[in-house]
Amino acid sequence: MSESNLKSAAVNESVEVAIIGGGPAGLMAAEVLSAAGVAVHLFDAMPSVGRKFLLAGKGGLNLTHSEGPEAFASRFGERRATLAPLLAEFGPDPLRAWATSLGIDTFVGSSGRVFPTDMKAAPLLRAWLHRLRHPVTGMPVQFHMRHRWAGLDNTGALLFDTPQGRKTVSAHATVLALGGGSWARLGSDGAWVPWLVAAGVPVVPLQPANCGFDVAGRDTQEQGDAPQGWSEHFSSRFAGQPFKSVAIRFTDSQGRSFERKGEFVATATGVEGSLIYAAAALLRDQISATGHATFELDLLPDRSPEKVLAEVRHPRGSRSLSSHLKSRLNLDGIKMALLHELLPKDAMGRPEALAAAIKALPVRVVAPRPIDEAISSAGGVPFEAMDEALMLKALPGVFCAGEMLDWEAPTGGYLLTASFATGRRAAAGVLAWLRRGAA
């Protein structure tokens, strides 16, 4: 449809509260406002709400984490102090109680992560939408699908592109819960950034978080040249295979350190997976500052350096090196292949160098994967651009929530919990704003 057709099809209407974005933050804001008797109209570009939420639950919906408040808040890094009060209002325990109120029981897994008992996202979303559409008390939420926000007009009204044309909506208060920049096909495409910037709202550039990385090829691991990825030999045989029971260590140029045991996966061009995601922010920022980042990979974290060296030195007779390491250290498969991929041939033949590499193999990463592949994004609207109620200082009556805010956290339920918490805080801000307007 052309721009002229969109204009000719314009429809104008006024609502009490508009929420733009049907993810966890927007739906939570809608619930709080609906329960308070506010007429809420929720707009979303997709044919249905909660699409990224459903995708997140495809392998088991990780709602939150059971660790204590201090440890939980620490996962938000530089935004810890800002988000701690919001998480105190709606953190892991209130979130689990909320799920129970929807008829969804939860349990704590061995890692401390919290899941619905059936592990699925769809039953929770169905129960939630039923509550929003048919509340026991309060006002039902009105849903407007296939309404893509297109910014503000010169009066501050909301513009939407719809299948019927351009629509203009004025609202007494608005909650923007538009998501970040990852998984554009599910609605989080970051298209809102220029519209807020044009309205005078500062926005920190969006960048990938909880993401994979491309590695430097074997010939460029030391020189730090342009990304080349794995060799064809390694990639064709091991892409998609996991590195299990390993540990990584990394210290950036500012002295910030990361060390953890876990697992990750080799990709066609590099690495991804839970252990990499946990270190992603430090790795990404180091690459941005210097063009590369090198972490140390411990292939056998449960064995001491002395034990590894002793086993490598053990006489192997006529056995090949691969057979020797498999027999003495149970080192084979992708771990053995990575040593061959990254170490010079002469190092493989020197016990001291080989043992040191097994315990601290340098892996140079040179680029994060594109933001649309990332689980989440960093950057967005800084908290300094809002008041404590998450209302934009440049746009009174407009509030922000969810992943479009400038914060990031690792996977493990932290992302969802903070999205819920910011949605509730924004809704509380809207209620206060409406009360001031009515006074």
The full set of domain ranges for the chain reads 3-207+377-438, 213-368
Residue 152's closest CA among 114, 187, 197, 116? Answer: 197
Q: How confident is the model at residue 10 (pLDDT cuts 50, 70, 90)?
A: low
pLDDT at 5 over 80: no
Q: In whole angstroms, give the CA distance from residue 206 to residue 180.
A: 7
Helix (H) or strand (E) segment spanning residue 264: strand 257-266
Length of the chain measured in residues: 439
Residue 43: pLDDT above 60?
Answer: yes
Q: Kindly state the average pLDDT of the residues 301-306.
A: 97
pLDDT at 88: 97
Give this prediction's pTM: 0.90
With a cut of 80, say whether residue 283 has pLDDT above it: yes
Q: Give the model's pLDDT for residue 56.
A: 84
Amino acid in position 306: E
Task: Please check the confidence at residue 275 and state whether its pLDDT lies above 60.
Answer: yes
Is pLDDT of 221 > 90?
no
pLDDT of residue 362: 97
DSSP element (H, E) containing 400: strand 398-400
**Cα(150)–Cα(45) distance, rounded to whole angstroms?**
10
- Residue 177: CB partners within 8 Å, gap ≥ 6? 19, 20, 21, 22, 23, 25, 26, 29, 400, 401, 402, 404, 423, 426
pLDDT at 220 over 60: no
φ and ψ at residue 176, rounded to 5 degrees: -95, 120
- Is the CATH number of domain 3-207+377-438 3.30.565.10? no
Predicted confidence (pLDDT) at residue 397 exceeds the cutoff of 80: yes
Residue 352 in tokens? 């001291």
Residue 187: pLDDT band (50, 70, 90) is confident
Helix (H, G, I), strand (E, B) or coil at 308: helix
The dihedrals phi and psi of 263, each to the nearest 5 degrees, come to -150, 160
Taking residues 231-256, report their average pLDDT: 96
Could you give the 3-state DSSP secondary structure of residue 176? Answer: strand
- Distance, in Å, from the CA atom of 30 to the CA atom of 17, rounded to the nearest integer, reads 9
Out of 79-83, 106-110, 219-223, 354-358, least confident range: 219-223
The per-residue b/e assignment along 193-203, b for 16 or more CB within 10 angstroms, e otherwise, is: bebbeeeebeb
Task: Answer whether 115's CB lies under 8 Å from 106's CB.
Answer: yes
β-pairing verdict for 213-215 and 270-272: antiparallel
Characterise 390 by phi-psi region: left (phi > 0), alpha (psi -120 to 50), beta (else). left
- Dist. CA 330–CA 190, nearest whole Å: 47
CA-closest candidate to residue 251, choices 296, 309, 213, 215: 296
